[in-house]
């Protein structure tokens, strides 16, 4: 019997050795093949192989892939299939494949395999799906009537990828452990982006992160004055500020969840780093939006703990101290908010007028998705002829959306957003402190994002952190609804 067992073990070792040998040969051949590709292709494919190889060491492939997905959200590495360069500014120039697509595809594959095995439900139950379908159709109609359909199709693809991200997170973040995982990695992202942005601002450099989406600390000459700003790995200061809009309120709200002192201290450090990073972007809209969200969070959490009267007193005291620190000292926030406009009004106000002209001429379906800068010069009757030297959409998210896909598309964006918020609402009353604090942070993050949208625009079709947070909100809503059912029994 021992000899038979020994023979089996020897055979297994030989098979294992041959398997490792041939796997190494195949991976080596693949590596040599992709090394001949362009740098962007090489990097994306190499990272995909590396992530897949590392995942073999993890028992729970879903959790590992979910970690990689969240980490990849603020890292703008992408490749563009059928890339079409243009002298006119567009949000996408090809069929964009962003880094987060790799773990997202793996997660969908895991979902499909588990559904086939009967371990998970294949049903898709995400709030706002009907609104998303109508939104996509209205975008498609706008593209059909646009002057350049090809670039519109590129952005339709980007929107489709974002919807897939939303659907997965909304349906497959099912366990509390997965919620905790998402929250922890998001907080780590906040800390990392905050530290990078602060270092970029202090050193007046990009820290060598060009390929990871980081442009140089932006010297904004478009507004007629030089201004050094940091963009982290998202490529633009305003994009980084929008990222912080969505994630800093979440981080701040979790500080009110009971936890060990060491963990709370680390959470406070991450929030402080994120605040420093937000300051380094010098985004007035971002600073104001996060400030309002933080004040609201303080008021709500203090109200729950001390009652309304004491909560108001404490918040007023915090505001007095914060105002004294900001206004009483010379600092970037004080200079940016109250001293220097850097000539931005000279450019932004004409842009708003151009966008209004576009909407008046094309109220239903706009000038077409991803076609604004190409069509806007026709409607530029401003004295500055602003589109001739500053090709950019209006710095207002709602005017930007309405000018590209019309008021019909904007309405469906609003309907979808309200559907997600409505689904999230029950979790704000969850008996689970973690779910309650996380839900409040996600809600205030979305509100901060859309407040900031009054003063800036985003490439909303593929701003991955926004769609991810929509998905987290929908997932949290399911937890809240589950808690309501348990309480009613």
What is the distance between the alpha carbons of residues 361 and 365, in angstroms, rounded to a whole number? 10
Q: How confident is the model at residue 407 (pLDDT cuts 50, 70, 90)?
A: very high
Residue 359 has pLDDT above 90, yes or no: yes
Please give the structure tokens belonging to residue 78: 């992408």
DSSP state of 212: G
The pLDDT > 70 percentage for the chain reads 77
DSSP state of 381: -
Q: How confident is the model at residue 13 (pLDDT cuts 50, 70, 90)?
A: very low
Supply the pLDDT for residue 343.
57
Query: What average pLDDT does range 276-292 have in this prediction?
Result: 90
Residue 185 has pLDDT above 90, yes or no: yes
Largest CA distance in the chain: 95
Residue 253 has pLDDT above 90, yes or no: yes
Supply the pLDDT for residue 334.
62
Residue 324 has pLDDT above 90, yes or no: no
Please give the structure tokens belonging to residue 431: 């008996």
Q: How confident is the model at residue 433 (pLDDT cuts 50, 70, 90)?
A: very high
126 or 485, which is more confident: 126
Task: Select from 207, 339, 227 the least CA-distant residue to 280.
Answer: 227
Query: What average pLDDT does range 350-360 have in this prediction?
Result: 91
Q: How confident is the model at residue 207 (pLDDT cuts 50, 70, 90)?
A: low
Supply the pLDDT for residue 145.
92
Range ranked top by mean pLDDT from 31-40, 195-204, 336-345: 195-204
Please give the structure tokens belonging to residue 15: 């098979």
Supply the pLDDT for residue 390.
78
Supply the pLDDT for residue 225.
40
3-state secondary structure of 97: strand
Query: What average pLDDT does range 44-62 have in this prediction?
Result: 67
Residues 6+ apart with CB under 8 A from 140: 156
Contact, 255 vs 469, CB < 8 A? no
Supply the pLDDT for residue 269.
96
DSSP state of 257: S
Task: Select from 343, 340, 342, 346 the least CA-distant residue to 386.
Answer: 346
Query: What average pLDDT does range 458-475 have in this prediction?
Result: 94
Sequence ranges of the domains in the chain: 131-488
Query: What average pLDDT does range 344-350 have in this prediction?
Result: 73
What is the distance between the alpha carbons of residues 189 and 246, in angstroms, rounded to a whole number? 12
Please give the structure tokens belonging to residue 73: 């959200």
Supply the pLDDT for residue 98.
86
Worst-scoring range by mean pLDDT, 215-219, 242-246, 268-272? 215-219
Residue 421 has pLDDT above 50, yes or no: yes
Query: What average pLDDT does range 182-190 have in this prediction?
Result: 96
Query: What average pLDDT does range 363-378 have in this prediction?
Result: 91
Query: What average pLDDT does range 187-213 have in this prediction?
Result: 80
Neighbours of 480 (CB within 10 A): 22
Burial pattern 92-117, b for ≥16 Cβ within 10 A else e, equals bbbbbbbbbbbbbebbeebbeeeeee
Supply the pLDDT for residue 441.
96
Query: What average pLDDT does range 2-25 have in this prediction?
Result: 48
Supply the pLDDT for residue 397.
94
Residue 35 has pLDDT above 60, yes or no: no
Q: For 297-307, how does the pLDDT look when each residue is reduced to its tens digit (9 = 90+)?
A: 999 988 888 88
125 or 196, which is more confident: 196
CA torsion angle 445 450 454 455 (round to 10): 40
Mean pLDDT of the chain: 82
Supply the pLDDT for residue 483.
58
Worst-scoring range by mean pLDDT, 73-82, 147-156, 194-203, 398-407? 73-82
Query: What average pLDDT does range 450-471 have in this prediction?
Result: 93
């Amino acid at each position: 019997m021992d000899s038979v067992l020994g023979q089996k073990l020897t055979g297994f070792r030989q098979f294992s050795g041959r398997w490792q040998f041939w796997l190494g040969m195949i991976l080596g051949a693949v590596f040599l093949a992709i090394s001949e590709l362009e740098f962007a292709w090489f990097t994306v494919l190499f990272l995909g192989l590396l992530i897949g190889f590392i995942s073999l060491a993890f028992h729970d492939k879903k959790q590992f892939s979910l970690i990689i997905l969240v980490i990849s959200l603020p890292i703008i590495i992408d490749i563009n299939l059928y890339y079409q360069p243009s002298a006119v500014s567009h949000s996408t120039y090809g069929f964009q494949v962003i880094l987060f697509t790799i773990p997202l595809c793996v997660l969908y594959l895991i979902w499909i395999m588990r559904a086939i095995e009967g371990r998970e439900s294949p049903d898709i139950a995400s709030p706002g799906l009907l609104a998303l379908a109508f939104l996509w159709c209205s975008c498609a109609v706008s593209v059909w009537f646009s002057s350049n359909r090809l670039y519109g199709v590129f952005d339709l693809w980007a929107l489709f990828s974002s919807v897939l991200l939303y659907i997965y997170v909304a349906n497959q973040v099912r366990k509390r452990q997965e919620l905790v995982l998402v929250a922890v990695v998001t907080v780590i992202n906040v800390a990392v982006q905050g530290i990078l942005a602060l270092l970029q601002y202090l050193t007046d450099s990009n820290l060598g992160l060009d390929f990871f989406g980081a442009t140089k600390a932006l010297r904004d000459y478009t507004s007629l004055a030089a201004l050094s700003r940091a963009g982290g790995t998202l490529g633009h200061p305003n994009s980084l500020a929008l990222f912080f809009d969505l994630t800093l309120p979440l981080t701040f709200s979790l500080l009110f969840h009971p936890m060990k002192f060491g963990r709370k201290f680390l959470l406070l450090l991450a929030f402080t780093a994120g605040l420093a990073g937000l300051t380094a972007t010098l985004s007035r809209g971002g600073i104001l939006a996060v400030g309002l969200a933080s004040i609201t969070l303080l008021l709500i959490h203090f109200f729950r703990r001390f009652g309304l009267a004491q909560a108001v007193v404490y918040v007023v005291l915090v505001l007095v101290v914060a105002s004294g620190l900001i206004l009483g000292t010379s600092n970037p926030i004080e200079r940016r908010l109250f001293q220097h406009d850097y000539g931005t009004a000279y450019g932004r106000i004409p842009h708003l007028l151009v966008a209004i002209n576009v909407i008046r001429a094309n109220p239903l379906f706009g000038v077409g998705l991803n076609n604004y800068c190409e069509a806007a010069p026709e409607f530029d009757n401003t004295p500055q002829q602003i589109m001739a030297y500053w090709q950019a959409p209006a710095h207002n998210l709602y005017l930007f959306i309405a000018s590209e896909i019309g008021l019909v598309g904007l309405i469906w964006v609003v309907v979808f957003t309200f559907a997600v918020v409505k689904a999230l609402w029950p979790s704000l009353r969850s008996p689970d402190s973690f779910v309650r604090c996380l839900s409040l942070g996600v809600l205030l993050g979305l509100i901060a994002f859309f407040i900031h949208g009054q003063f800036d625009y985003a490439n909303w079709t593929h701003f991955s952190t926004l769609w991810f947070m929509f998905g987290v909100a929908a997932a949290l809503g399911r937890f809240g609804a589950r808690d309501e059912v348990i309480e009613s029994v």
